[in-house]
Amino acid sequence: MDIEHVFNKKWKTMIIPAIAVSFLAGCGSPDTDSVTAEPEPTTENETIPEEEPMKTNEEQERMLEVGRVRLSVKEAGSGPDMILIHGRTLAKEDMDPLFDHYRDSYHVVSYDVRGHGKTESGGECTLDDLSDDLVGLINAYQLEKPVVIGFSMGSYIALRTAERYPDLFTGIVLIGTRGKGHVTQFSISDEVAEAMQSFDNMTDIANAKATVPSLVLSGEKDFINPPEEGRKVADALPDAEFKLVPDAQHEAYRTNPEFVFEETDAFLNRLSLAQRSE
C-alpha cells in the first residue's frame, strides 16, 4: 500500500476535525450579532460625522460628508489648524509641498474641492457653495480659527469665505490670486466651471468685509493671474501685505518654494506673536 496515501488519509482523519472543533470553540454559539456583524471601518474613504480630527503625524485620508457632497480629505500633524485649498483642474495632492512643509508644526487638512480629485461635483454650485463646503469642513472637524492657504481657485474660495465670516480664520495666504474675473473651464466639471465663470470678491473687499490678516503672494512670471492682480487684492484688503515671488510662475509654491516658505513662515510667526499678546 502507498505509504504517502495512508499518511494523508490519517492526517485528514485526525487534523481536520480538530481544526473544526477549535474554530467552533473560538466563535462560540452562532447568534445574530456574530453572523451579521460588519467589519470595522477603515480610515481610508471613511465617512465621518462631526468629530474631532485625528491630529497625528501619520497621514490619514477619508471621505467627509458636507451638505450635498462628500469631500475627499487628508490630514496629518498636530498643533494649530491649517487648511490647504488647491487650484482648478488640480487636486489636494498638488498642495503636497505645503502639506509636507507644515505637517510637523501644524495640524494640516487638505481636501479635493467639489468636482476635483475624488470629490464629486454635487450638481450646480456657486462660489458661495464652494465656500460653504469649506465652512462645513471646519465645523465637522471642529477646527479652531484655522489658517487657510489657497492657491488660484483655492484663494478665491478662501477670500470669499473670509468676506462672509470675518472671524472664522486666524489668517489667510492667497497664492496666485485675483479679485474678480472670468475663469476658463478647461477640464473641471461643468457645474464647478459655471461657478467659476464670473466671480467678484472685490466688491465685498471694498465694503471692508474681509478684515482677517492676509498675505498675498504672486509669481513674477505668472501669466494666468499676473502680479498686478494680486497687488490689487492686497491693496484693497485692510490688513494685508503683498510679496512678489521672484522668477516664479503661477504655481509659485512649486517654482520658487524657498521664497514662498520663507515669507509664509514669517507671516505665520507674526500671527502667532499677535495671538500671544492678546
Helix or strand run (H / E) with residue 144: none
Same domain, 97 and 227: yes
Task: Confirm if 173 and 148 have CB atoms less than 8 A apart.
Answer: yes
The whole-number pLDDT of residue 175 equals 98
The two counts, helices (H) then strands (E), for the chain are 10, 10
Which grid cell is 131? 465656500
Output the tens digit of pLDDT for each of the chain's 278 residues.
Answer: 444 444 344 434 444 344 333 333 333 333 333 333 333 333 344 444 455 555 667 899 999 999 889 999 999 999 999 999 999 889 999 999 999 999 999 999 999 999 899 998 877 888 899 999 999 999 999 999 999 999 999 999 999 999 999 999 999 999 999 998 765 444 445 555 555 556 777 776 666 568 899 999 999 999 999 999 999 999 999 999 999 999 999 999 999 999 999 999 999 999 988 877 76
The count of domains in the chain is 2
Joined grid coordinates for residue 179: 479679485
pTM of the entire predicted model: 0.76
- Confidence (pLDDT) at 277: 72
User: What pLDDT shows up at residue 114?
Assistant: 92
Same domain, 69 and 30: no
Residues 259 and 216 in one domain: yes
Torsion angles phi and psi, residue 109, rounded to 5: -120, 125
| Domain span including residue 135 | 60-277
Q: How many other C-beta atoms lie within 10 A of the C-beta of residue 222?
A: 26
Are 133 and 7 contained in the same domain?
no
Report if residue 50 sits inside a domain: no
pLDDT at 278: 67
Question: Rounded to an integer, what is the distance from CA 184 to the centroid of its chain?
Answer: 23
- On whether both 100 and 144 belong to a single domain, the answer is yes
Q: What is the pLDDT of residue 174?
A: 98
Q: What is the domain-level CATH number for residue 72?
A: 3.40.50.1820
Residues 128 and 252 in one domain: yes
